[in-house]
Amino acid sequence: MIPGSLARRYARALLGLAPTPAARDKYATDLAALSEMAKSTDESGVTVLTVLTTRRYTVSDRKKLLDALGRRVAADPMVIKFLAYAIEQDRINGLHEITRAFVRMADDAAGRLQAEVTSAAPLGPDAIAELQQALAVATGKTIVLTTKVDPSLIGGVVTKLGSYVLDGSVRSALARMREELRS
Amino acid sequence: MRRIPCLVAALTTALTALPRIVAAAPEPGAPDAHGAHEGGIQWISPVFGNSGKMGLLWILINFAVLMWLLEKLLFSKLRAKTAAKSDAIRGELERASLARQQAEGIMTDVRARLAKLDGEVESILAEATARAEADRVRIVEAAQTEAERIKAAAIAAAERDSEQRRRALEAEIVDSAIARAEVMLRGRITAADQGRMVDDFIGQIASTPMPGFAATAGGPS
């Protein structure tokens, strides 16, 4: 892991390398795919990111591994070069933080906002569309919505916009009621 | 001054002995009854004259010299020693007298104190009784104060304990009620209820302020 400020600095640098909005989105997609792939483990539980980070392997070997991963997800060569530079600077251990910062910056630049909606029961397409529309109107941004189902909510919906949480679940209502009755 | 009586005594003894010596002397020309003496008293004669007698004057002088020597060598020291002993005895007597006076004073004092002892005993008893009463009152008051403090602390502790138990009971009741409500809601919430809650949530989004996001017509900044 690396500090958030350093991750944002790297993400801002990569953002500046993107010539077009489409390239920026491609970089974000590639980084997200590589970050997800870096979480995978081998039989002994060692993650790919650990292999990319450890100095037991030479920089050239780690770059070869990065190239192989890039080819597998068809990553943009600029993203591979950027991550190779991070390996040289011994900052590849911050891949997840850099990816999160870059995706957030790319979304900001494109006027998008990631929203995670968790409901007690699966939402219908109409409800998702209405929710997406309502969030777009409330934030003034294009909402990229992902949905999850959590039966422990009992009922209602919880929406997470970055660090902002809108909680309309029955579980939270009961918890608030419990606190009010106890106080 | 003390030598004078001694000399006088010596001379008196010598002079008183003289008539007896004269009386005992035979008359001149009278036949010696015993045939042993001739002549009578010879006042002055050669020290050892032809008669073989010493003159009486020489004897007196001899006696006076003897007395003078005795006075110088013996009597004066004896007198000094005697005077010292006398002074010592007188001093002892004076000290004994003084000690006797002191003892009499102490005796008088002790008798006076003994006379006053009954009164002092009564006074001490009265004072001790008063002190004991004061101590008793003070101890009783302190015990009452301590008892009040302990009682207040016990009441406060009991109230705190009661309050804690009440809160714990309330919390338990609330938890049971909430758990019961949760179970009931899980069993009773239908898809229609879920849809209604989602609709309500969507309606609330427009009225919920979202700081950090760009301001739009449909929601706060």
Once rounded to an integer, what is the mean pLDDT over residues A21-40? 93
Pick A154's closest partner by Cβ from B185, B205, B214: B185
Helix (H, G, I), strand (E, B) or coil at A44: coil
> What CATH number should be reported for the domain whose range is A4-108?
1.10.520
Which of A89-93, A101-105, B186-190 has the least mean pLDDT? Answer: B186-190
pTM for the model: 0.51
Least Cα distance to B189 among A170, A119, A16 occurs for: A170
Residue B106 has pLDDT above 90, yes or no: yes
Q: Report the pLDDT value the prediction gives residue B216, as an integer from 0 to 100.
A: 40
Query: What residue segments make up the domains of chain A, in order of their start?
Result: 4-108, 112-182
Once rounded to an integer, what is the mean pLDDT over residues A56-72? 93
> Across the interface, do A182 and B219 touch by the CB < 8 Å criterion?
no
Q: Report the pLDDT value the prediction gives residue A83, as an integer from 0 to 100.
A: 94
Q: Report CA-CA distances (Å) from A35 to A7, B61, B122.
A: 14, 161, 106
Helix (H, G, I), strand (E, B) or coil at A158: strand
Interface of A with B (CB under 8 A): 113, 119-121, 123-124, 127, 130-131, 134-135, 137-141, 154-157, 159, 161-162, 164, 166, 168, 170-171, 174, 177-178, 181-182
Residues in B 150-169 with any Cβ partner in A closer than 8 A:
167
Q: How far does A131 lie from chain B, in Å, by closest CA?
A: 6
Q: Which chain A residue has its CA at the smallest distance from B213's CA?
A: A139
Cα torsion B40, B44, B48, B51 to 10°: value is -30
**Sequence-distant (≥ 6) Cβ neighbours of residue A151 within 8 angstroms:** A120, A121
> Across the interface, do B217 and A157 touch by the CB < 8 Å criterion?
no
What is the band of A147 on the pLDDT scale with cuts at 50, 70, 90? very high
> Across the interface, do A138 and B205 touch by the CB < 8 Å criterion?
yes
Q: Report the pLDDT value the prediction gives residue B34, as an integer from 0 to 100.
A: 47
Once rounded to an integer, what is the mean pLDDT over residues B108-130? 89
Q: Report the pLDDT value the prediction gives residue B207, as an integer from 0 to 100.
A: 75
Task: List, for residues B50-103, the tens digit of each pLDDT value.
Answer: 555 667 888 889 999 999 999 999 999 999 999 999 999 999 999 999 999 999
Q: Report the pLDDT value the prediction gives residue B138, as an integer from 0 to 100.
A: 95
What is the DSSP annotation of B112-124?
HHHHHHHHHHHHH
Q: How many CB pairs under 8 A join A and B?
A: 102
Residue A96 has pLDDT above 90, yes or no: yes
Check CB contact of B202 with chain A, cutoff 8 Å.
yes
Check CB contact of B192 with chain A, cutoff 8 Å.
no
Burial-class residue A116 by CB neighbours within 10 Å (0-12, 13-18, 19+): middle
